Structure 1
Amino acid sequence: MPAATHPAPHAGRRPPPPTPPTRRSALTRAGGLLRACHPAPAAAVTLCSAVLAAAVGRGVAGTAVTAGAVAAGQLSVGWCNDRVDLARDRAAGRRDKPLVTGTVRPADVTAAALTALLLCVPLSLACGTAAGLAHMVGVAAAWAYDLWLKKTPGSWIPYALAFGLLPAFVTLGLPGAPWPPPWLTGAAALLGVGAHLANVLPDIDDDLAAGVRGLPQRLGARRAAPLAGLLVFASAVALVAGPPGPVSPYGLSLLALTFALLLATVRAPGRIPFLAVLGVALADVALLLMRGAGVG
């Protein structure tokens, strides 16, 4: 799914000189590659996909292949994002970025992104042709975000498409290739767009200075923050009210906790709002499990 955006150069901030390449141990380079792939969202999306696959009856092998395909796609998107943003990250002085500090070489990140993308294709198709195509469309949307759409008013579209297709990737691998129910697709798409807005919040000023004018940058932090919370809460409502049967006490508690969490974090500094969205996503998956999935 679409990866995080990064700060761009801020007016008046003097960019540091590029870090000269140095000889690094294999372990150091591997650690740099890991940090460059956006490990937190990649792990969260992979875990959610695996749990959902297990919940709908994909079995051990099917769940493993599903998780592998999603992990490969997420890795490719994360590495692509950091490689594309290298010039802006250098100009912004992002010393937390392995490419900026020279821990890992640009060529290594490029190779890793392309390798993960190539692995994603057979792993996705191993889940079935329809499922594989759905997943590859989502991954292609995420790459389109990294390469171009993040700078446009349509920056939200890849998130809606990629997240919305993720449940389809899971269910289309079942016998008969069923599509997920509309409430699940809608909930996933809402969560994706909310995550996009929340993730960009800390970087809006720097992004604008660099000419990155996606939807959240055009809205500004004052409007993007409450909209992010509203979309994530709407996603939780869809998951609670969508499945057949009465709403469980856990579902009602989830709504209350989601509302309180988003209210407390939506204007918090740094990546806290985005991490809160990831927490809500994991809680949503737990809700699906407790309600027997109701997906396939």
Structure 2
Amino acid sequence: MTAAVDIFRALADPTRLRIVALLRRMELSVGELAQVLGQSQPRVSRHVKILVDAGVAARRREGSWVFLTPAPSPIAVPLFALIDAGGEDHWAVADAARLNAVRADRATAAERYFAGHAEQWDAIRSLHVADSAVEAHMRDLLGSGLGRLVDIGTGTGRMIELLGVSATHATGIDRSPEMLRLARAKLADAPTPVDFRQADVAELPLADASADTVVMHQVLHYIPAPEAALREAARIVAPGGRLLIVDFASHDREELRTQDAHARLGFSDAQIGGWLGASGLSLTDTHELTGGELTVKLWLGTRPAVAKALAA
């Protein structure tokens, strides 16, 4: 009963309701919340503390930044459903618009970086970890018979170059036109049919369950809302299909935010496993590659195949 009372008290304030609604859309820092809400950081921090103390929100430290995310208790879940049933008020509409502006600011910063480094991108990735070791593990983990392959954040098309020979068709997706021009030039004579599409990872121009193998190689740490990107990637994975994520393990190299436009300083197994599970996939395999300044992790998510009993 005490927990329920604390949650009701926490959600009784209109500003805290707005904060919860924003956090349910994406992880945000206190500064970003203040920007969206149009309030001072100290004031927003006080609201956040009440939500955290009540078990409605949770803090996650990442280097010098602290991100906030919903941490709904079993009591809070039906309350969220009740809030949703009430529809959006004018504050919710305005907050959503300002949140989109925060996302656009982040994406623009990343795009500037990519546009300025398109030709050197393969070399820049090599500075972090030996690509040859990572690629060997990727091939071993995925094996052959990749079917319909989709490479999200394809960059210069290296993953399609590496894995496309085992696929029946490959699609490369990237926001940067500079990257796609390089990829098209590199793979003009690829033995596997390949097409490239300019699109955002949050809105893939592909149908549900349209891919057998989806790859996100060194992409997730650039995305402002990685949980949403994984959810969208999982959407296109067909029954029995797989999603391979290759990225950095959690680290504290804060300078990568400014030097290399990293939005996230790596990920933990718990984070990736939780996001995959929430998207209907199971974390079926993990690999860790140490060496160099950062540790590279491979996470393999699988969508269960349709049960034979249901098909009969």
TM-score after normalising by structure 1: 0.26
TM-score after normalising by structure 2: 0.25
- Larger helix share, 1 or 2: 1
Larger Rg: 2
- Larger strand share, 1 or 2: 2
